[in-house]
Amino acid sequence: MVKKYMAPPKIFPKFEGLEHLTSAVIICSERFSIDYMNPSAEIMLEISHDQACGQVMSLFFEEFDLFKHAALSAKKSQSAFRENEVFIRSKQNKTLCVTFTVSWLGNSDYYLIEMIQMDQHLRIAKEERMFIQQQANADLLRNLAHEIRNPLGGLRGAAQLLEKELASKNLKEYTEIIIAEADRLQNLMSKLLTPHQLPSYDTTNIHEVIERVRGLVVSEFGSEIEFVRDYDISLPEFVGDREKLIQALLNICRNAMQALLKQSDTENPSLKVVTRSERQIVFNKKKHSAAIRIDIVDNGPGVPEPIKDTIFYPLVSGNDEGTGLGLSLAQNLISLHQGMISLHSEPGRTVFSIILPINNGLIINKEVAQ
C-alpha cells in the first residue's frame, strides 16, 4: 500500500508497480472521478484506462452511497477502509462480487481503491486443491501402471506358448481371450503412462494444433455437427509439445462430439473453438502476465451432475464404453505446459477452458528428443 504520496498530475501516469498487480486498482479524485486504472481493473471492469478516466465511480458501484461512505470513512480515519461482498457492475453490465479497500492518499486529495473478486479467492483455492489432487493421482496411477504392465507381458507370452501346445481348437478360445484381454489392459496402461513420456518441445502455433484436431474430429465424426472457429489470429507462438497438445484438445473435442451425438434432439448441434489472449492471471500459485485461452464450447446436454466435481479424476466416466481417462490425461498434458483446464457446464452449454501461459519456462528440446 502506498503510504506517502506526492501530489499527482491531472491525469495519472501509468505506475510501474500498480501495472503488474493482479488485484484491480483505481485512483480517483476527491469528487470520485477516475484518474487512473491498472490493467487488472481494465479487465475486471471491461473498460479501458482511457475510457474510464474522467468517469465517476458510480458507473461501477450499484450502491454508490456505500462506496462514498467507505471513502469518507477512510479519509476521516486516515486509514484503509475495507468492505466485503460488495456488488459492482462492469461496463458490459456484468455483476461482480468484490472485496474492496479504499485508502485516502494523504495530502494529495486522491483515493486509492483496491478490488479483488470474491469468486477469484474461491477459484484459486479450488484450483490449488485440484492441482495437489491431480499430482497425487498422477503419481499413484503411474506407479500402478508400471506394476501392472510388467507381469502383463509375461502373462501374454505364456498364453501364446500355451496356445501352441494346445491340441484342441476349442481350448484355444480361452487363450485367445487371455491374449485379447492382456492387449486391452496393455492399451489402458499405455494411456496412463503417456503423459510421463519424454515431451518434445518446440515453437508451437496454437491454431495449427486446433486445425489438426479439427481435421481429426471431422474425419472421425463426419461433418454432421458444425465445427465453428472463432480465432484471435494475433496470438503469439509459445514453446510446447504439439503432439501432446493435439492429444489433450482431441480428448475434449471427442467428448463433446460424443455428448452431442448421444443427445440426438439438439437443434443445430455445434462444437465451437474460441481462442483469446488473457493478461495478468493467477493460477497454481503463479502469476502469468500473458496467456492463451482456448474455449471449447458445445451446445449438448451438459456434463452429468453426479460427476461434475470429479470429472478430471481418472476412471470417472459417464459413458458405458468410456474408460474415464480422457480428461485426466488432458489435464496432465496441459499441466506439462504450466497450464490448466476448467469446466463450466449447464444443459445446452458446456465450456472447457484451457489456459496456456505464453512464458511457460519450457525450453526447446526437439532435436534432443528425436
Ligand X SMILES: Nc1ncnc2c1ncn2[C@@H]1O[C@H](COP(=O)(O)OP(=O)(O)OP(=O)(O)O)[C@@H](O)[C@H]1O
Q: What is the binding site for ligand X (CB under 6 A)? A: 251, 255-256, 259, 298, 300, 302-304, 307, 311, 316-319, 322-328, 350
Question: b/e per residue, 183-201, with b = 16+ CB within 10 A?
Answer: eebbebbebbeebeeebbb
Which grid coordinates belong to 259?
455428448
Cβ distance to ligand X smaller for residue 300 or 339:
300
> Which residues fall within 8 angstroms of residue 53, CB to CB, at 6 or more apart?
11, 34, 35, 36, 37
CB of 270 to Mg ion, least distance (A): 19
Q: Which helix (H) or strand (E) holds 89?
A: strand 81-89
Q: Does 255 bind Mg ion (CB under 5 A)?
A: yes
205 φ, ψ (degrees, to nearest 5): -105, 120
Asked if 121 and 94 count as a contact pair (C-beta separation under 8 A), the reply is no
Cβ distance to ligand X smaller for residue 287 or 344:
344
CB of 327 to Mg ion, least distance (A): 6
Q: Does 301 bind Mg ion (CB under 5 A)?
A: no
Asked if 271 and 229 count as a contact pair (C-beta separation under 8 A), the reply is no
Cβ distance to Mg ion smaller for residue 255 or 360:
255
CA 143, distance to chain mean position in Å, is: 27
CB of 299 to ligand X, least distance (A): 10
Cβ distance to ligand X smaller for residue 102 or 329:
329
CA 131, distance to chain mean position in Å, is: 12
User: Cell 482456448 appears where?
Assistant: 294
CB of 308 to ligand X, least distance (A): 9
Choices 232-240, 252-260, 305-313, 331-339; region in contact with Mg ion by CB under 5 A? 252-260
SS3 state at 348: coil
**The entry of Mg ion, ligand X, none that residue 317 binds, CB within 5 to 8 Å by partner kind:** ligand X
CB of 259 to ligand X, least distance (A): 3
Binding Mg ion by CB under 5 A: which of 326, 345, 350, 360?
326
Cβ distance to Mg ion smaller for residue 40 or 255:
255
Cβ distance to Mg ion smaller for residue 134 or 255:
255
Cβ distance to Mg ion smaller for residue 37 or 225:
225
CB of 149 to ligand X, least distance (A): 18
Q: How many residues bind Mg ion (CB under 5 A)?
A: 2
Over the window 344 to 363, marking each residue x when it contacts Mg ion by CB under 5 A and - when it does not, the resulting string is --------------------
Per the DSSP assignment, residues forming a β-bridge with 349 are 346
Cβ distance to ligand X smaller for residue 40 or 331:
331
**The entry of ligand X, Mg ion, none that residue 166 binds, CB within 5 to 8 Å by partner kind:** none
Which grid coordinates belong to 125?
483455492
Q: Does 300 bind Mg ion (CB under 5 A)?
A: no
Choices 25-33, 324-332, 340-348, 358-366; region in contact with Mg ion by CB under 5 A? 324-332
Find the radius of gyration of the CA atoms of the chain. Answer: 27
Using CA atoms, how far apart are residues 27 and 57, in angstroms rounded to an integer?
10
Asked if 60 and 40 count as a contact pair (C-beta separation under 8 A), the reply is no
Closest to 70 measured CA to CA, from 117, 113, 35, 26 = 113
**The entry of ligand X, Mg ion, none that residue 304 binds, CB within 5 to 8 Å by partner kind:** ligand X
Using CA atoms, how far apart are residues 101 and 23, in angstroms rounded to an integer?
11
Q: Does 328 bind Mg ion (CB under 5 A)?
A: no
Per the DSSP assignment, residues forming a β-bridge with 88 are 61, 96
Contact residues toward Mg ion (CB under 5 A) are 255, 326
